[in-house]
C-alpha cells in the first residue's frame, strides 16, 4: 500500500488522503508490534544469561564452570541485550571472588608442595630451581627419569633428567618409553648426553628442557602426566648396540606427580 501511494500523482494522493492517513497509523501500529517482538526476543535472550548468573550461587573453587558459562553467554549478547541483564554485577563480583580463591589456593598448594622440595636460588641468573627432596643427590646413584622445575620472573618451566647408571656403557641417544601400552619416543644428539665413570660405575645422562608455561598439552608434560598415573612404565635407554630397560617405581611416579602439581600451581 505504501509503494502504491508513492506512485500516485498529487491529485490522486489528495483523493485518498484520508485512507493514506489511516495507513500511516497502521504503519506505526505495525512498527510498534515489531519493536515489541524484538524487545521480547532481546529480553528472552537476556533472561537466559540472568538465569545462568543466578545459578552461580556461593562462589567456591568449583564455580569455574558456572562463571565461565555465564561469561560466554553474556558475551554472545548484543550490546542492547547486555543492557537488559539486571544481575550482571553479580557475575563481576563472582569473578573477583573466584580469582581471589584461586590465588589463595595457589599460595596454599605452593606452600604445601615446597615442603617436599629443595629450593635453590641462582641469584646471578635470577632463577629459582625446585628439586624434589626424593630426587637422588648424586647422578651415579641409580637410573631414573625425574623432572624438576625452573622459575624466573613469573615464568615456570620443567626440565626432565634422563639418567642411566650401571656397571657398563650403553652409549644411549634414544629413549623408548612404554606407558600402559603407549610408546613415546625421544631422540637426542649423541653429544647432548653427559658420560662419566668412577669406581666401576658408569653414568650417562641429559637434561631436556620443556617449553615454558606449556601446560599439560605439551607432549613431554603429557607423557609425564601419563607416567605418574600409569600402571606400568618402562624406559628403554637405547644405543647402537646396547640397551637397558628401567621399570619406573611407584615412588618415582608419585614424585613426578608432586612435581607436576607444583608446576601447575606456579603457572596458573
Residue 169: strand, helix, or coil? coil
Tens digits of per-residue pLDDT, 150-184? 999 888 899 999 999 999 999 999 999 999 999 99
Annotate 123-155 with b (16+ C-beta within 10 A) or e (fewer).
eeeeebbbbbeebbeeebeebbbbbbbbbeeee
Residue 11: strand, helix, or coil? helix
Instruction: Return the pLDDT at 215.
Output: 54
Tens digits of per-residue pLDDT, 8-52? 898 888 888 888 889 899 999 998 998 889 999 999 999 999 999
C-alpha cell at 122: 641462582
Residue 203's CB is within 10 A of a number of other CB atoms, namely 20
Instruction: Return the pLDDT at 199.
Output: 86
Torsion of CA 255, 133, 267, 65, to 10 degrees: 50
Integer Cα distance of 172 and 245 in angstroms: 12
* pTM more than 0.85: no
Name which of 83, 159, 167 is nearest 120 in CA terms.
159
Instruction: Return the pLDDT at 206.
Output: 95
**Alpha-carbon distance values, 170 to 136, 175, 184 (Å):** 21, 12, 20
Integer Cα distance of 132 and 149 in angstroms: 9
Q: What are phi and psi of 20, to 5 degrees?
A: -65, -40
Instruction: Return the pLDDT at 217.
Output: 55
Q: What are phi and psi of 101, to 5 degrees?
A: -65, -40
Residue 257: strand, helix, or coil? helix
Q: Which residues in the chain land under pLDDT 70?
A: 211-217
Integer Cα distance of 89 and 79 in angstroms: 16
Integer Cα distance of 91 and 40 in angstroms: 23
Instruction: Return the pLDDT at 232.
Output: 97
Instruction: Return the pLDDT at 233.
Output: 97
Instruction: Return the pLDDT at 101.
Output: 95
Instruction: Return the pLDDT at 211.
Output: 62
Amino acid at each position: 500500500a505504501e509503494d502504491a501511494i508513492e506512485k500516485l500523482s498529487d491529485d490522486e494522493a489528495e483523493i485518498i488522503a484520508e485512507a493514506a492517513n489511516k495507513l500511516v497509523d497502521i504503519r506505526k501500529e505495525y512498527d510498534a508490534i515489531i519493536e515489541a517482538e524484538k524487545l521480547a526476543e532481546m529480553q528472552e535472550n537476556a533472561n537466559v544469561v540472568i538465569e545462568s548468573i543466578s545459578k552461580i550461587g556461593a562462589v567456591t573453587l568449583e564455580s569455574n564452570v558456572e562463571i565461565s558459562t555465564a561469561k560466554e553467554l553474556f558475551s554472545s549478547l548484543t550490546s542492547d541485550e547486555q543492557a537488559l541483564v539486571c544481575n550482571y554485577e553479580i557475575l563481576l563480583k563472582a569473578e573477583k571472588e573466584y580469582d581471589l580463591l584461586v590465588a589463595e589456593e595457589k599460595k596454599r598448594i605452593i606452600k604445601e608442595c615446597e615442603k617436599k622440595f629443595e629450593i635453590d636460588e641462582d641469584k646471578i641468573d635470577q632463577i629459582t630451581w625446585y628439586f624434589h627432596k626424593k630426587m637422588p643427590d648424586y647422578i651415579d646413584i641409580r637410573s631414573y627419569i625425574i623432572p624438576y622445575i625452573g622459575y624466573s620472573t613469573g615464568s615456570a618451566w620443567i626440565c626432565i633428567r634422563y639418567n642411566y647408571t650401571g656397571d657398563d656403557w650403553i652409549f644411549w641417544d634414544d629413549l623408548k618409553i612404554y606407558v600402559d601400552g603407549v610408546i613415546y619416543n625421544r631422540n637426542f644428539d649423541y653429544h647432548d648426553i653427559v658420560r662419566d665413570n668412577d669406581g666401576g660405575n658408569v653414568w650417562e645422562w641429559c637434561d631436556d628442557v620443556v617449553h615454558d608455561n606449556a601446560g599439560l598439552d605439551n607432549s613431554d608434560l603429557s607423557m609425564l602426566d601419563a607416567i605418574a598415573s600409569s600402571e606400568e612404565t618402562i624406559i628403554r635407554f637405547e644405543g647402537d648396540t646396547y640397551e637397558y630397560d628401567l621399570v619406573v617405581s611407584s615412588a618415582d611416579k608419585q614424585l613426578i606427580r608432586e612435581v607436576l602439581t607444583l608446576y601447575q600451581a606456579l603457572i596458573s
